[in-house]
Amino acid sequence: MGDVAADPRRRVPRTDAVLADPRLAAAAGTLGRERVKAAVHRAQERARRGEITPEAVRDAALAALPAPAPRAVLNATGVVLHTNLGRAALSPAAVAAVAAATGHTDVELDLRTGRRARRGRDALDALAAAVPDAGAVHVVNNGAAALVLAATALAADAEIVVSRGELVEIGDGFRLPDLLESTGARLREVGTTNRTTLDDYAAAIGPRTGFVLKVHPSNFQVTGFTSAVPVRALATLGVPVVADIGSGLLAPDPLLPAEPDAASTLRAGAALVTASGDKLLGGPQAGLLLGAADLVERLRRHPLARALRVDKLTLAALAATLADPATPTRAALHADPGALRARTERLCAALAADGCEAQVVPAGAVVGGGGAPGVELPSWALALPERYAQPLRVGDPPVLGRVVRGRLLLDLRCVPADADAALRAAVLRVPGED
């Protein structure tokens, strides 16, 4: 017994005992047993050299393993569709559909006949049912791809007539003119930055016109002395109108009266509507194309469509999202401010009981993700000192809020209700001031 006490190396736990730790066993399920086992061996060697205690081997092995990538975070920013956080959070139904689609699926097979079937027919049928005004629908891998496919198939070596005020930058330095011109189309700009009329469009249309493009300026506002031409008027010009509505709203939403939706835009006369799937629809990243059957078929049969096609996981998530529109995005957008206040006050009281000073303050949430600029959603937030921001951001789980006037605001609008305990624990783990 004396020898064991005198030589701590004898207390270093066996490899199988360390691997049995539930945390390491879970890590082995995602990282692989051999990788976790190697980390355990390194931790054991550190203990034998006296760098750590034998009792710290399990924690040291766990700490040496890489964090999951990407890491799940708690979005307390008050931005519903935060681009840096992956925009829309998938619904439980969509998550389950993705999990089911990870193996072999009937994505392109009719099980009744044993013959090849239309790829992603469940998602396409669900999209068509959600927007019956569309003669046909197609899905590609993101919103920009939808517009590129339309320009390539309908206007390569031709002209796209577009208002100067709608030649936007879509993010990360990518600009709409560059995107469209990369397809071989030529842009015919009309009007001015703040004002464009129907006569401007009419004067530009000629035998080289492929289509008129209407772009919703979804991530900025121009106010004052302005004018723009609606789709209904553009549809009288005798050439196809392609409307990029951006945010993926399929039907009108009273909460967002200025946000264009696919159904209304098609009824107004657009030949083709393009939109994103991971914004207001609340689904996976995807580019939606809805419109006249002959145009959609031209796009679907174009060689570029193959390069832009979506994978089975996206199709599964999209079908589930369309079948069950009770998405986290919709819940966050339509969250009752009174209920948010009560929930925030409960969290504040729980933190106060633990000795953490916080306040409940009114806040303004936003849609984000290039949708509904200028719309503010009344909300409430937990206010903490600014010093909490960095420790919470790098914690486990990472918690992201926003810093306003020297305070960190944590808005619970996009935080799942069952994550309040995890949020409270994360706040309490932040060290106090010296």
How far is 71 from 247, CA to CA, in rounded Å? 25
In 323-432, beta strands by DSSP E: 359-368, 371-385, 399-400, 402-404, 407-411
The Cα-based distances of 60 to 19, 23, 426 in angstroms read: 12, 12, 21
- Peptide bond preceding 70 in cis form (omega within 30 of 0): yes
DSSP 104: -
> What is the model's pLDDT at position 175?
86
Angle at 131 between CA 127 and CA 137, to 5 degrees: 50
> What is the model's pLDDT at position 1?
46
Rg (CA), the chain: 27
**Structure-block tokens of residue 191:** 């009007």
Residue 403 · residue 383 · CB < 8 Å = no
Residue 110 · residue 116 · CB < 8 Å = yes
> What is the model's pLDDT at position 375?
87
DSSP3 helix / strand / coil % (the chain, rounded to 5): 45, 20, 35
> What is the model's pLDDT at position 220?
61
> What is the model's pLDDT at position 6?
60
Residue tagged 């289509």 (tokens) = 211
Please, is 299 exposed, middle or buried when counting C-beta atoms within 10 Å of its C-beta (0-12, 13-18, 19+)? buried
Q: How would DSSP label each residue in 239-293?
A: S-EEEEEES---S--TT-TTS--HHHHHHTT-SEEEEESSSTT-S-S-EEEEE-H
> What is the model's pLDDT at position 343?
97
Walk along the chain (434 residues) and give the pLDDT tens digit of each residue. 445 556 767 889 999 999 999 989 988 988 899 999 999 999 999 999 999 999 999 999 998 998 777 889 999 999 999 999 999 999 999 999 999 999 999 999 999 999 999 999 999 999 999 999 999 999 999 999 999 999 999 999 899 999 998 888 776 677 888 989 999 999 999 998 889 999 999 999 999 999 999 998 765 667 677 788 999 999 999 999 999 998 889 999 999 988 999 999 999 999 999 999 999 999 999 999 999 999 999 999 999 999 999 999 999 999 999 998 899 999 999 999 999 999 999 999 999 999 998 999 999 999 988 777 778 999 999 999 999 999 999 888 899 999 999 999 999 999 999 999 999 999 999 987 75
- Reduced 3-state DSSP string for 146-175: HHHHHHHHHHCCCEEEEEHHHCCEEECCEE
Q: How far is CA 211 from the centre of its chain?
A: 30
Q: How would DSSP label each residue in 23-44?
A: HHHHHHHHH-HHHHHHHHHHHH
